[in-house]
Amino acid sequence: MKRKIYLLFGIVGILGLLSMTVPVVASSQQPQVFYQTPTPGPDGRILYIVQAGDSCLSISLLTGVDVNTLRTTNNLDQECSLREGQELLLGINAAPTNTPGPAPTATIPLPSPTPFNGNGQICIYLFNDVNGNAMADENELPLAGGAVSVSDRLGKVSLTGNTLDTGDPVCFDEVPEGEYNISVAVPEGYNATTNTNYPLQLNAGDQSTLDFGAQVSSEVDVTATTPEGNQSPLLGILGGLLVVAGAGLGFYFRTMKR
């Protein structure tokens, strides 16, 4: 009977060690919230339809419209409460007024002009995805030190930068329209919770913002120290499990020899 108890202690200790040391890996999703500036309607209004999980902060990051402006323009409450499918007014694009003029006169056809390629803007935002849900929640802070790369398929454009902790995305202006690959390398000690590469078709006049998430690596958590410089309580727990496993197995094999 004693041998069974000792063996049980040994197995419990080993299982406890395995459960403490296996790292928790956040599931990879399609995290990027991708937004392109919509075309104004016939009345000049620029609208945004609220998606599941949206908040005023996430919409502000995507569209570049200040949170307070969103709240006052759409008569939202102080908490900026939203509901899925709600239509938000982002702004009004005033169309020029057509004035009558003289009738056109016939002209000699000119050679076809050289096509003009316009520019757009690409912004990247990296956030500390504490809960690992691949969405930028209001209580999740921006993460600095992420290496950003923007390159086109033709190899003519190559832009680099680093993410900021100010709450503003890192943006590249006057980017020629075309097909691009956006990639982010998360800072050391973090694991990505979203895809770190994203293909983007940039059209003239687009303002595109892509969100990427990362959370602290579980390996860093295990070796972390307390603010006073003492070792983490996890190390004490691991040590206790080692003692239980060793003692249980030791007593078990000693009784087997008798």
pLDDT of residue 103: 66
Residue-wise pLDDT tens for the chain (258 aa)? 555 565 565 675 666 655 555 454 544 454 555 555 666 777 778 888 898 888 898 888 888 888 888 888 898 998 888 999 998 888 887 655 565 666 666 666 666 655 557 899 999 999 999 998 988 888 899 999 999 999 998 888 999 999 988 888 999 999 999 999 999 999 999 999 999 999 999 999 898 999 999 999 876 544 444 444 455 565 566 666 665 566 555 655 566 655
Measured distance CA(228)–CA(226) in Å, rounded: 5
The H or E element containing residue 178 is strand 178-185
- As a CATH number, domain 41-92 is 3.10.350.10
pLDDT of residue 91: 83
Q: At what angle do helices 233-257 and 2-21 cross, to 10 degrees?
A: 150
pLDDT of residue 186: 94
Strand order in the sheet with 170-176: 170-176, 119-128, 207-216, 190-192
Measured distance CA(70)–CA(59) in Å, rounded: 9
- The CATH class for the domain spanning 26-37+119-216 reads mainly beta
Joined together, the tokens standing for residue 56 give 């005023």
Comparing CA positions, the residue from 119, 122, 134 lying closest to residue 62 is 122
Q: Contact at 8 Å (CB) between 128 and 141?
A: yes
